Amino acid sequence: MLDVDPIRIIQAIIIGISFIGAGTILKSRDEKDVSFLTTSATILFSSGIGICVALHQYVLALGVTLLVVLINNVFRILKPRG
Mean pLDDT of 28-54: 84
**pLDDT above 70 covers what percent of the chain?**
95
Q: What is the pLDDT of residue 81?
A: 67
Q: Is residue 1 part of a domain?
A: no
Q: Distance (Å, rounded) from C-alpha 80 to C-alpha 54?
A: 37
Model confidence, pTM = 0.77
Q: Is residue 18 part of a domain?
A: yes
Q: What is the pLDDT of residue 63?
A: 96
Q: Distance (Å, rounded) from C-alpha 7 to C-alpha 14?
A: 11
Q: Which domain holds residue 41?
A: 6-76
Q: Is residue 70 part of a domain?
A: yes
Q: Is residue 82 part of a domain?
A: no
pLDDT at residue 33 above 80? no
Mean pLDDT of 22-29: 77
Q: Provide the mean pLDDT of the chain.
A: 86
Q: Is residue 81 part of a domain?
A: no
Domains contained in the chain, number: 1
Q: Distance (Å, rounded) from C-alpha 70 to C-alpha 45?
A: 13
Q: Is residue 66 part of a domain?
A: yes
Q: Is residue 42 part of a domain?
A: yes
Of residues 75 and 56, more confidence is placed in 56
